[in-house]
Amino acid sequence: MGDKYDRQLRLWGAEGQRRLANTHILLINSCATGSEALKNLVLPGVQRFTILDDQRVTQADATNNFFVTLDSIGSSRAEIVTKLLLEMNTDVTGVARHANVKQVLQEEPQYLDQFDLVLATDLDELVTTKLAELCLIKRLPLLIITSYGYIGSLRLQVAQHAIVDAKMDSPRHELRLSKPFSTLQKFADTFDLQSMSTIDHAHVPFVILLLQAMKKWKENYDGQLPTSFLEKDEFKKSLQEMTWGSWGHEVNFMEAAENAYMAYVPPQLPEEVASVLAVAASHTVSIEALEKTKDTKEFWLLAHAVADFVKQNEGLLPVTGVVPDMTASTEWYVALQELYMTKAKEDATKVHQILLNRMCDLKLPQDMISFDAVTAFCKNAPNIGMLETRSVAQEYKHVNLVGVDLEDEDKEQSPLIWYFMLRAVAAFASQFNRYPGSEDAAATQDGAWLVAKAKVLAAGSDVVDWITDDHALEMTRSCQVELHNIAAVMGGVAAQEAVKLITHQFEPLNNTYVFNGISGDWPQVAAYFKALLQSRLHSPPIYCGLAGDKGKAMYAGKALKAGEPIWTEAPFVAMQHEDNKEFVDCCDNCFVPLIDSKICWARVVTGSSSEVEGEAVPADEAAASEADFEAAIAFLQKEGGKSPEESYFSVFKLAESQVKCSCGVVYCSDNCKQIAYAQHHALLCPRSEERENAMGQFLNHTLVTNEIFQLAAKVVAKILLLFVATQDMAQARQPVDIFCKLPWWEVITSEEDLEDGETLEEYRDKFRSLLMQTYDYFISGLTENLAHLETQNELNGLTADALLVSCNEVLSVDFFSRVVGMFEMNNISMEIDHPLHALSEALSEASPEEKKDMPPVLARVKLALEKFTEEHNHQCDEEHDEYDEEECNAVDEDFVGVEGTALFSGICTMNHSCDPNCTVLYTKDGAAHVFAVQDIAEGEELCISYIDVDQEVDGREECLRLTNVSSFIAYWRLMSDQAGSTNSYVIAPVVRKNGKHRRLSNKWRRDRDGLIDYESFVLPRPKLP
C-alpha cells in the first residue's frame, strides 16, 4: 500500500489512509457529477461504495459521463458505472442497486445505517429535504452536489464533525516562554552569553535569548510581564542591547525580536480548541453519546481527558514537543528538542492516566486507546477543531445572510444569485416533475417562474434586485444539462471535502460552495496562485487579484517597508541570450556563472596598478598578486565559518567541476544536468555538438530567426515530460494556460508597422509563415527524440505515438503560437551579476573609516578590482543618436554577467508603473527576488517598472512617452534577509532629484558578513528521486 498511495500518505498520513480504507460510501444517482466525485474517492482507496440509482443509460449519459459506454445505453446506469469504477482500483469493492431513492428512503429508513458518508446528486427539493433529515438524525455526513449547465454547487451538512488535525497553514507553536516549565528555565540559565565565542553567540536559540531577557526583566519589575505598549517596546530594545555588533548581524537575535510576544503573552487556548474542550467537558460525553459519534468515539474520549488536564494545569494545553526551525547550533537545537519532547511525554502520561480513569467509569476496555494515540492527540491538541453546519431544513426555512458582505459583490455574477437560481430550479422540479426549459413552448413562462421564486427565496436581501431574466434564461437553456468539465470540477471539489470528512483532517467547507463557469477563468486562476504561493512561501505576504482593465495583479497582504524582501521565486522556464554566451558561460539549468577565477584574476592583476582615485596603497602593502585572490577567498570563508561548498565563494570553483551534455550544453554539476534532462532537455537535446539531427536543425533555425522560439520549445517539452510522469494533462499545462492568450503574430503586430498599401492580415501572414516553418522544424525534432526515448524506455510505459496522440492539443501550431505570444507579453529579463563584479562592488562600499579595518590582502584585492574596472569600462560614443533605442550603459567585457529571458509566474502578474513600489533582482542561480522600494500599505497593488530603472528621466520618458516619471538609479549592495535565513544581493533604488542622489548607507563589516553568508534563498528546486 505504501508505494501505491505514497503521495496521499504525505498529505493525511497512515491514520488518514486507515480511515479511508474503512469507509463505506453511498452515491445517490450516478450521473456525470456523481461518477466523477466517486472516481476521486475510489482512486485513493475507500473500502467500498454503493450506488443507488434507478436511471438507465441514455445517449446524454454517453456524451458526458466517462463511466458509461455507447453500447451500454438502456442498461442500468448504476451497474455500468460500478463496473467501470471498480476497474480503477482493485483494493475497492462496490455494489449497485437499481432502485428509486425516494421510495427507498420512505420504505427503508434504516438503509442508511450501513454507510459512513453520503454523496447525493440530481435530486429535487423534496427528496433532498427527506434525505438531509435522515442523515442528520443518524449523524451521517451528507454532501449534496449539483452541476447545472455552467453552474455548480456543493452543500455540506454535518453534525458535530470532529477535526483531529486541522493542518493549519501556519502551525501553532506554543513554547511556554511566558510560563516556562522548570527544566526549560534551568536549561536557559546554563547559557553564559558573555563568555561565548562570536560564532556561538550568534547560534544561541532565540528561545534561550527570550527566557534570559525575560528573567532579567522580571528581576527589575517585581516579577511582572510587560503589559503596555511602551513596556513591550522596551523589552524588545533590551534584546537589541544584548546583541554583539550592529543590529541584524546576529540572525538569532532578530528571530528573538520577531517572537518577543511569546515571552510576555500568556498562553491562550485557540478559539476552535476551546470550543471542542467545552463540549468534551460537558456531561454529554456518555456511553449513549459516544455510540452516536461512531468513528470519533476515541476523539471525544481524548478531548475529555485533555479538557480535564487543562483544568488541572492552569489552563495550559499539554506541551506538543514540536520545536520550530530556528537559527541554532545542532547541539543546542537537539538539546532543546529533547527538553520539549521529555516534557511532552510527561504531559501525555498525565492525560493518559485521566483517560484511563474516565474509561474505568464508563466500563470501557483499558486498552481501547493506546498511549501512542494519546501522545499523537496531545501533539495535535492546538490544531483540533469541530464543525457543525446548519441543517438543510434550517436553510430551506430561512437563508441566513448575516455577516455576508454584499458591498463588493458582482451584481451580475455573484455566487448568491446562482445559489438562489439553483434553489429555484430544485423547487421547480419538485412542483412540476420536470426541469425548467424542458418544454420549448413553456421556456419563457418557466423563466418567469424561476425569477419570481428566486426573488422570494432572496427576500430581505439586496440580492433580490440583482436577479434578472438573463439569469433565468441561463437556467432554462441549461435544462438539466451536465457539461463534463463542470461535472469534473464539482466532482473534484466534492471528493476533496469528502476526504476531509473521512480522515477528520483539514477544515471542511462550512455550508455551501458555488462554482461559476460563466465568468471566465478568474476563480481558477486565483485558486492556482493561492495554492502556488502557499506551497512556496510561509505565510505569503502577497495575494493575486484583479486590477480592472489591467487584469491580474499582485497585492500586498500586509504593510511592507522600503527595502523589505517580499518574495522569491525560481523561473518556470528561462534561457541565456545567445549573444551573451560569447562573454560568459553559465549552467543551463540554474544559470550560475561558470567563470575561470584564476584567468579572470590574472587579467585583473595584469591590467591594474596600485593606485585608485588618489588612494595610495600603504607602504607595507605591495600591489596585488595572483596569490592574493585565493588568500582573500580563504580569509572570507574562514570568517564566515563555512566550508567552501557552503560558501557563496563556491561560484569561483564551479567552472572546475562543470559537466557537459553530449550536445555541448554546460552545467555546473551532474545534479543540474539530470534535473534539466528530466524537465525538458530529454526532448530538446540535439544529441551532438554538430547539431546534425532534426532537433539540431530547429535550434540552428532559431539562432537566425528568434531565440524566443527556444523558450516556447522548453515550455512544450516541460508539459510533455510532466504528462509522462503524471499522465495528468490538466496539471501539466495549468501554469501555461494561465498566461497563454494571443498567438504570436497578434501580439507583435500593429497598424503602425504596416507599409503603404499593406493590410494588417498581410503583415501578420509574414509572421505566421515564419512560425509555421519553425513549428515544422520543432515537431520533426520532437518526434525524432520521442522515438529515441521510447527505445531507451524513458516514457513511463507510453509509446511515442500514444504520447503524440494524447498530447495533440499542446502539440498543435495554435498552442505553440500562443506560447510564443505568451513570452512576448510576459517575459522578464534575467540578469545575474558576474561574481568578480559583485565582489568588487561589495568591497567598494567601505567608507574611509571602515577601510582601515580591512586586512591588507582584502585592501589589495579591492584596489586592484576598482582600478581594473575603471580602466576597462567602455562608454557609449558621445555622438550616439540620443533617440536610438540601444542602451547607453557602461560595459566591462571582462566582468559581463549572465543575461537572459525567463518566465516567473508570480512576477509576470505584476503590472507596470512609472513610479514602481517594487524592484526585481537576481542571485547566482537565476532566482528572482522582489523587494519593496517604497513603503507599501496593506492591499496596495505591487508594481514594477517594465524598463530599466537606471535610466535618466529623459530616457524613461522617451521609452514610455509619458511624463512625470521619477528617475531611479540602481547599485548593487548587500542586504540581510530580514527573515534571518540568508543574505542576497539587492538592487536598491535611489531617488535622484535636482542632480543629487541619496543612497542607503552600508557598513563594510555588514557587507563582508553578508558576502560570506550570501547564498541563494531561492525556492526549492525539484530534486531527482
Where do the domains of the chain lie? 1-159+388-520, 177-266, 268-387, 522-571+904-972+984-1008, 580-607+623-678+834-872, 680-825
The CA distances from residue 492 to 4, 36, 39, 152, 355, in Å, are: 20, 7, 9, 12, 39
H or E segment and range at residue 910: none
pLDDT reported for residue 1006: 31
Which residue pairs, CB below 8 angstroms and at least 24 apart, start in 430-438?
430/124, 430/125, 430/126, 430/127, 435/479, 435/480, 436/472, 436/475, 436/476, 436/479, 437/475, 437/476, 437/477, 437/478, 437/479, 438/479, 438/480
Distance of CA 509 to the CA centre of its chain: 21
Read off the C-alpha cell for 763: 503583415
pLDDT reported for residue 974: 24
User: What are residue 543's DSSP bridge partners?
Assistant: 555
For 522-571+904-972+984-1008, CATH gives: 2.170.270.10
Nearest of 722, 687, 705, 676 to residue 776 by alpha carbon: 705
How does DSSP classify residue 400?
A: -
> 78 or 656, which is more confident?
78
- Report the alpha-carbon distance of residue 885 to residue 870 in Å, rounded: 26
Q: What is the pLDDT of residues 726-751, one digit of tens each?
A: 888 888 887 787 777 778 888 888 77
What integer is the mean pLDDT of 303-323?
92
Q: At residue 894, does pLDDT exceed 80?
A: no
Quick check: 157 and 294 in contact, CB under 8 A? no
Read off the C-alpha cell for 764: 501578420
Q: What is the pLDDT of residues 706-717, one digit of tens each?
A: 999 999 999 999
Q: What is the pLDDT of residues 353-370, one digit of tens each?
A: 999 998 888 888 888 899
Average pLDDT of the chain? 80
Q: What is the pLDDT of residues 556-571, one digit of tens each?
A: 988 999 888 888 888 8
Q: At residue 937, does pLDDT exceed 90?
A: yes
Q: At residue 778, does pLDDT exceed 70?
A: yes
CATH code matching the domain that covers 1-159+388-520, chosen among 3.40.50.720, 3.20.20.10, 3.40.50.300, 3.40.190.10: 3.40.50.720
Q: At residue 972, does pLDDT exceed 70?
A: no
> 135 or 59, which is more confident?
135
- Report the alpha-carbon distance of residue 624 to residue 610 in Å, rounded: 8
b/e per residue, 434-445, with b = 16+ CB within 10 A?
ebbbeeeeebee
Q: Is 460 exposed, middle or buried (0-12, 13-18, 19+ CB in 10 A)?
A: exposed
Read off the C-alpha cell for 147: 452541476
Q: What is the pLDDT of residues 608-646, one digit of tens each?
A: 544 444 444 444 455 778 788 777 777 766 655 555 555
Q: At residue 993, does pLDDT exceed 60?
A: no
How does DSSP classify residue 880?
A: -
Read off the C-alpha cell for 6: 505514497
Read off the C-alpha cell for 1023: 530534486
Quick check: 923 and 1018 in contact, CB under 8 A? yes
What integer is the mean pLDDT of 941-967?
52
Range with the lowest mean pLDDT among 79-93, 591-605, 982-996? 982-996
Q: How confident is the model at residue 699 (pLDDT cuts 50, 70, 90)?
A: very high
Quick check: 1014 and 984 in contact, CB under 8 A? yes
- Report the alpha-carbon distance of residue 546 to residue 552 in Å, rounded: 5
> Crossing angle for the helix pair 297-312 and 371-380, nearest 10 degrees?
70
What integer is the mean pLDDT of 319-348?
94
Quick check: 143 and 115 in contact, CB under 8 A? no
Q: What are phi and psi of 291, to 5 degrees?
A: -65, -30
Range with the lowest mean pLDDT among 21-30, 195-204, 471-480? 471-480
